[in-house]
Each structure stands twice: as C-alpha cells, then as structure tokens.
Amino acid sequence: MRVLFTVPPLAGHVNPTVAVGSELAARGHEIAWTGPASALAGLLPARARILPAGEEAGGREIGGTYAELHERWRDLRGVGALRFLWEEALVPLARAMVPGVTRAVHSFEPDVLVADQQALAGPLVARRLGVPWATSASTSAELTRPFADFPKVGEWVAGQIAGLVAEFGPDGKGSGEGSRDGSGEGGGWDPRFSERLVLVFSTPELVGQAEEFPSHFAFVGPAFGARPAPPDFPWQRLDPARKRVLVSLGTLNQEAGGRFYRSVLGAAERLAGEVQLILAAPAALIGDPPGHVLLQERVPQLELLPHLDAVVCHGGHNTVCESLAHGLPLVVAPIRDDQPIVARQVVEAGAGVRVRFGRTRAEELRDALTAVLDDPGPRRAARRIQASFAAAGGAAAAADRLEKLL
C-alpha cells in the first residue's frame, strides 16, 4: 500500500513517523511525507520522498518565518502560549498546507494518510477527498482532556478547530460524529482524532489508566527510528565513578533556560562528588562550566541514554518517552504547551519529580536529583513503564494497525 505522512516541521512530531515509515518500507509498502519541504529535509532520512506543502502562504515562505515565530513564542507561558500556538502557528500552518497536501494526495494517490495532530491539513484534505486516514498522536496530552478544568479555554480551542473545518470541509459543516474536542466533551468532527485509528506513541502505564479509550486508540509505545547523524561527543569524558545525569531542554527551549541553567550549575556544585551532569545547552548561556559538568550544545541523545542514571528535562514528550524507554527516572521542569500535562503523567506514574522551571533554586533541584537517584521508587516506576513500552510493540505494532485499515 501507499502511505502518506502529513507532519509539521517539528522533530518531535516527525521522529515517530520515521520509525513507522521505515517499518512499512521494510514490508514493501511505498512511503512519502508531505509538509514544509525545506524544514523536513533536515528531519527525515536522506532518501525520504518529500512532497512540499506549506512553504508559501500569502506570497511569503512559511519556512522563512519559523525563526521569527520562535522568537515571539519563546517567553510565552500559560494561556498566552496556547493562543499563540493556535493563532500564529497551527491554524496558519493548516491553511498554508492544504493546497500542497491536496497536490500530494492527487500525485501520490495514498491508500492511507497518517496525520500528526498538529498537521491539521492532512485530515481536512483526506476527508474532502475520501482518503482513509489515521492520527499520529506524537504527544499524549490531547488524549487526557487537557481543558476539562478550563472549559472557556477548551471552547476557544474548539472554536479554532471548527473554523478550519468550516473553511476547508467538503460542505462547510462538521460531520456530527462524536470526538474528543477541545472542551473535552463529545461534539462535531475533530481533525485531531481519526474515527478509524489513533496511533498513541505511549502506553496507559504513563498516560494513566483511569480513563477508558475506544478500541481504535492503539497504544503502541514510543517508535524510535533513524535520526540525522549524531554530533561528535567526548565519550571518554564520561566519569564511571559518578552517577551521570543528562540535562536537556530540547531543541526549541534552550534560549529560555538562562535562569534554570544557573540553578542547574548550583545543584551540580552541591553534588560534585557524586554526580556528573551532561548539560545540553548553548555555551553562550553557560560560560566556563566546572570540570564535573560536561557541556555540549548538542548531544547524541539516544546513544547517550544507556550510559545515564537519570534525566532532567522540560517535559517534552519525546525526551520523556526516550528516557523512560531506558528505565531512567526523571526530574521534569515543564515550560508550556503539553509539557505540564506530560510532567503530571510522569509524577502520577511515580517515575519522577516535578520542579518549577522559572523559579527553581539550586537547593530544590539538588533535592529533586537526590530523590530520583537515591530513592528506588522512581527507578522502579520508570522500569515498569519501560517494560510496558517494550510490550506495546512500537513501530512494528503501528505498522500492523495501519495494514489492517485496508
């Protein structure tokens, strides 16, 4: 069969599709991706087939505005960050991608379209053209009814989605099918949730088992695929006499971490005899670190994780799941978007400790690190989730479910 992945230009959303696409290709299926081509070229394997969508909107290249959008988004929090995400990023990206995704469907003629939850153009086009489609839920936050306690916010998000459906739907009307809309209640058609298959790259052991999900929600666990060539790393500097902890705020949040990094260095000073920190951060924000802190602007994260004892991160779904897949407990400092929800999942599962990103003191961070390194509880919980990930099947399980759609 032919499978078309529709993705935004974000590594955490592209990575699972690379793994699933590789598995499908190994089974003889034909694979392609559609999205902003200039950005996807740096995120996909060298020989990946990319069908451009979303490079232009209103006569300007969307790809050229990503840096500008990031600069404005970087310091936003809470509802302000959410409004920006929808009004300045997701909705404009969907509008920009619809023409290109339409061309991609006509030229590639997919049997199945797999759409990331933040690439809303995919479902809009698939529904209009009658192509079977599945959801790629690269973060589990949308599955947990995130606005149940904030109904006005949920109604606003639902309104943004309804506007897109009305603008690009085949008849300008929702289908009336029940779905998980922004308010957390059943309602009109929601392009974030396929009615046929939702691939969830997590498991109930992390997401939480209190809520029942429909049978077409397939919890396949993380799917790890090939990544761009990892940066050089001074492996010889890893200290076997100390516990090793990675500190990473992901690729998009590093510049916002100045104050947090100072707390990290303070915690490192207090734990110098016991812990080696591997700090993934811009050198300009750190200066000259002490000898027991290994500073690298980029690290080969998947290759590094087997050599670690714990991870400090911002609650990005990819980093959290990659860490737990290696049985590593976490200290989570969420910043915005889905990160507080993912952090809550980690804490409720017992696999880590949450700290405040903007106000964490060195002492608080030291205590959190001591807790996940010395208390066996977080490590046991992390290993329980690790086992659930392994049992879920990852990319192979996702490919199995996609094959059954036809």
64-99 per-position pLDDT tens digit: 455 555 556 556 556 677 788 888 888 999 999 999
Contacts of residue 15, defined as CB under 8 A and 6 or more positions apart, other chains included, come to: 43, 138, 223, 224, 225, 227, 318
* Ordered DSSP codes for 34-86: EE-HHHHTTTS-TT--EEE-SSEETTEEGGGGHHHHHHHHTT--HHHHHHHII
Q: How far is CA 176 from CA 114, 154, 186, 210, in A?
A: 22, 18, 10, 27
> In DSSP terms, which residues pair with 312 in a beta bridge?
247, 331
Do 2-226+392-403 and 235-390 show the same overall fold? yes
CATH architecture of 235-390: 3-Layer(aba) Sandwich (3.40)
Model confidence pLDDT, tens digit, residues 180-238: 433 333 346 899 999 999 999 999 999 988 778 999 999 999 998 777 666 789 999 99
- The tokens for 200 are 């969830």
Domain boundaries, the chain: 2-226+392-403, 235-390
Is residue 144 scored above 80 in pLDDT?
no
Taking residues 112-141, report their average pLDDT.
95
Write down the pLDDT at residue 256: 56
The CATH architecture annotation of domain 2-226+392-403 reads 3-Layer(aba) Sandwich (3.40)
pLDDT tens digits for 1-60?
999 999 998 888 999 999 999 999 999 999 999 999 988 998 999 899 999 998 754 334
Residue range 190-202, pLDDT digits in tens = 999 999 999 999 9
